[in-house]
Amino acid sequence: MHLRLPFLGLDFDPLSVDETAAAMAWRARKLAPFAYVTTPNVDHMVRLDAAPQLRAVYDGAWLNVCDSRIIEAFAEASYLTLPAAPGSDITARLFADHIKPYDRVVVIGGSQAVIDALRTKFGLLDLRWLDAPMGLREDAEARAKCVAFIRENPAPFVFLAVGSPQQEMIALEAMLSGKCAGVAICCGASLEFLTGHVARAPEWMRTRRLEWLHRLASEPGRLWRRYLVDGPRIFLIWYRWRSAPYNPLTPANDMAVSPALGDTHEHVGAALSVLGSGDRRSIPPAA
């Protein structure tokens, strides 16, 4: 068991890309009860600050790893070690080093072209795909279809690629159902990057923490608000965190040892009912 790192109002697991991928592969081979990994970045933290009820989806996660080199920089400025472990890199590492052609892989979301490219690139023999319904954030029945697909197609590796926060909501609901297996990663656009359908920032931009600029330049119409209006709120979030009493390190979720969350099920289930109540006035729309 490692210690979780409380930072900016969320408990992170300070793991590297290699450590996260290896931990996921270890759990996947057991085909244990369903667990999931979230990859919070600046967009997640800004949304969580505006809608604290979303914390339930992170409280229920087996691992919360830092997707953002910007958050990594804020942690360094706070004399904390929180390595960036981007979800795109974790996804790429899983396919390159851990997923075998004969492994069953489930993907929720994405397009037919991405799925075909994924199957061809890695020689996957048992790739099961659900073209996810629209309106997942607001539609509990649509999310239930995703959970049913995961339940009916038990797989060691599950990739939830429908955007945040809906992919995390599906993951939490799958876990709470108690009828799903495998380990999932809430991976957003990672499969599009992996298959070359969307160009990722070059390595020099990533190492210099400029990937956000590349994405903004690539899709200004869709992403300008995320990066130029909402994103800068992370400075205020960091300032408030710096001004508050420091929280000690907390024990990591021990689902790797025992998948039972005990009383956590009750409070995340209650919070999930709030998320599904239809009152989403305080939740910013996805970019």
- Per-residue pLDDT of 22-59, as tens digits, reads 999 999 998 889 999 999 999 999 999 999 999 999 99
* pLDDT of res. 265: 44
The residue whose two tokens read 């949304």 is 47
Residue 281 is assigned to a structural domain of this protein: no
pLDDT of residue 95: 98
Query: Measuring CA to CA, which residue among 49, 43, 92, 50 is closest to residue 66?
Result: 43
Does residue 197 belong to any structural domain of this protein?
yes
Whole-number pLDDT of residue 134: 87
Q: What is the DSSP code string of 266-287?
A: HHHHHHHHHHTTS--TTSPPP-
Confidence category of residue 78, pLDDT binned at 50, 70, 90: very high
In a domain, 269, yes or no: yes
Q: Tokens 């279809």 — which residue?
A: 145
Residues 23 and 21: their CA atoms lie apart, in Å, by 5
Residue 251 CB: number of other CB atoms within 10 A?
10
Q: What is the mean pLDDT of residues 107-125?
A: 97
74 inside domain:
yes
Please check whether residue 280 lies inside any domain of the structure.
no
What's the pLDDT score for residue 246?
67
Task: Indicate whether 82 belongs to any domain.
Answer: yes
- Confidence at residue 282, expressed as pLDDT on a 0 to 100 scale: 34
User: What is the DSSP code (8-state) at residue 181?
Assistant: B
Of residues 54, 67, 68, the one with CA closest to residue 137? 54
H/E segment holding residue 139:
none
Residue 277 confidence (pLDDT) above 50: no
Domain containing 125 equals: 3-275
The predicted pLDDT at position 274 comes to 42
d(CA 159, CA 205): 26
- The mean pLDDT value of the chain amounts to 85
Q: Tens digit of pLDDT for each residue in 214-237?
A: 676 777 777 667 777 677 899 999
Structure tokens at 181: 């297996």
Q: Above pLDDT 70, what percent of the chain?
A: 80
- Predicted pLDDT of residue 210: 67
Compare 193 and 244 and report the one with higher pLDDT.
Answer: 193
* Mean predicted confidence (pLDDT) in 199-220: 72
Question: Would 28 be classed as within a structural domain?
Answer: yes
State the pLDDT at residue 203: 78
Q: What is the pLDDT of residues 131-185, one digit of tens each?
A: 998 899 999 999 999 999 999 999 999 999 999 999 999 999 999 999 999 999 9
Cβ(246)–Cβ(79) below 8 Å: no
- Residue 92, pLDDT > 60, answer yes
Q: What is the pLDDT of residue 214?
A: 62
Report the pLDDT value the prediction gives residue 33, as an integer from 0 to 100.
Answer: 94
CA–CA distance from 32 to each of 141, 158, 167, 229 (Å)?
26, 13, 20, 41
Number of structural domains in the chain = 1
- Identify which of 220, 180, 268, 215 has the alpha carbon closest to the alpha carbon of residue 86: 215
| Residue 286 belongs to some domain of the structure | no
